Structure 1
Amino acid sequence: MGYIPHNSPFAGNLARISRPRRKKRKEKKEGKEGNGRKGELYVVEVVEEERKEMSGLLGDEFRGGEKWRGSTRLLLLDEEFVDKNILEALLPKGMIIPSAFETVGHIAHLNLREEHQPFKYLIAKVVLDKNKPKIQTVVNKIDAIHIDYRTMQLEVLAGNNSLVTMLVENGLRFNVDLATVYWNSKLATERQRLLSGFNFKDVVCDVFAGVGPISIPAAKIVKRVYANDLNPYAVDYLERNSVLNKLEKKIEVFNMDGRRFIDAMFASQKAHKITQVVMNLPNDATEFLDAFRGIYRDRPEDVKFTFPKTHVYGFSKARDPEFDFHERIRIALAEVAVNVEMRRVRLVAPGKWMLFASFVLPESVVFARRSPNT
């Protein structure tokens, strides 16, 4: 198999490489042939459209549309090479090797740096070839996550163009379309960590449920799940995945803004049953916390209520990320005395942490009088 170490304009070119016939067996003594070693001569025939840049790879005398028997910069690779070795051989010396990628079903999701862009098709081809048949599509994120629907713009670099896939996480199946919904396989362990704190008596309110990575496994554990998302495509897949895993009877699905969902749930008869609230929207989940102020304000204070435990995810670039995240929670709730359990989830970028905070909503918050602006 041949890989062409060049910038993306060359990435589409394929070459058919063959070894010339040996004339005499004794010629083996003069310039070791076989196994792609130094001294062996190959015939290279360009079989796709001619590009003048190929002359830089196949010798200055190459004119295209012909077989070439001269020197070549094509690198012949043995299947025993691992991805890192291949890319080290193909990419410019000193460049950071993009050896890791996220897997979502049959899709390999790269997150390439700016310096990798001229070589993105080459990198994708290596990833695809070394991970078949499990990987059939290689994509790269080319834009930030869109806040409203939590979708990202992806560019298909290699393989088929389908972004619809099925994946299995902790024994449950999920259908997703990465063109319209969000999924992060890197958070599988974190999701299990959260779910381990639920029990069969719980009623869970998932404010930003997506396609159900928390709601659906939670439904196997708890009494009831109320799952919401603003993205109508995510809600469609959430309903499909609930049926796929035979859990649709334990999950009630909603499609509305997070703040409206919180208002509606705690204004209904369901309010006193809710024991756990999950807010997995790290970019701005804290901005929705003010919706909990006064959720029980119209109910008698002498009646016993269960104050739900709230689990919030967020990002911080601060020098002390825990202090920063705690401050934002207190400001959103307009309450100083909030006893928060905090931990770091993962470093998502240099200097940027994803954090998890868990706390029981204080009585002073749930019975508070809302300001005219809320």
Structure 2
Amino acid sequence: MSNWIFEPIKKLDEQARDEALARQQQLTKPLGSLGRLEDIAVEIAAMQGGMPQVNTPYICIFAADHGIATSGVSAFPQEVTAQMVANFASGGAAISVLAKSLLAPFEIVNLGTVAPTDFPGVSNEFIAPGTANMLHGDAMTEAQCAQALTIGKKYLLHAKELGCELFIGGDMGIANTSAATVLASVISGESIANLTGPGTGLDDDGVQRKIEILKQVIVKHSETDIAPELLLQKMGGFEIAALVGSYIAAAQQGITILVDGFICTAAAMMAVAIAPESRAWMIFSHGSAEPGHKLMLKHLQATPVLELGMRLGEGSGAAICVPLIQLACKLHSQMATFAEAAVAGKLDAH
């Protein structure tokens, strides 16, 4: 397995946090009146070690297929993964529109689709044509999992080279909610039934069938005290492992992570299980409509910035959150203090 994932995580700057909190008390507004926006600005100040700013977010979509799809856990066939990669590249997907609107560097990375994706604008980091079926054996070999983790790190480092202050990972992979669900179940201790949702649109019977199949997966890989990186190898996906690698690398490099929905939160859970201090570098963008997402956020002690009922994936919820993050930073840095504006502050209580 990749030893780099165990390297130290960068510490937050507590002096910068204290200075940001002090500044919030001096700005021309009642303390707390901007709500969560104040908290976000202070968090990012501690991450960046000074006045917070997010000028350039980086969006990277990791795509791959899953062997478990052949067991009937998804409403869509596997070839849809490659078709959606083509849609990302041609600009027709939601995340493509959002990235363009945000003027964000946008990367599409294929780690292993069943169908080929030889399209302009797609970076091929091909490991295999999808993972193996985790119902029958390990989803990945140790070498494949290590490769996927390192690919995630590679694109995070590219974001750093571009000077991006915020990293958004996105996902595409038919049946990847199944992999995310079993990973989240083992890490959190929550039941498969409580975490399983319709994914791409299963009906009630389909959801029940998915639950039974995923329970079998858990039994198949029921070793006790399994290391999280081995759990990822056994029941993860190439794109999920790449997300995990990108998140750990971001925390090591000191880059803010804006986490998307269900799949990305499962990856965040894995990253925190492997490298607990990486949690401090994560902001959770939105609450997914997938039923299990609230339980996953609870496990991470995370409160999402937005609640929009979204469940698209692709990094779309995180991208929609970016303007709010940017405004939180600008309000913090550009508002006047009471002294600067010659406005009287709050009276002391008598």
Q: TM-score, normalised by structure 1?
A: 0.27
Pick the structure with more strand per residue: 1
- Structure (1 or 2) with the greater helix fraction: 2
Q: Which has the larger radius of gyration?
A: 1
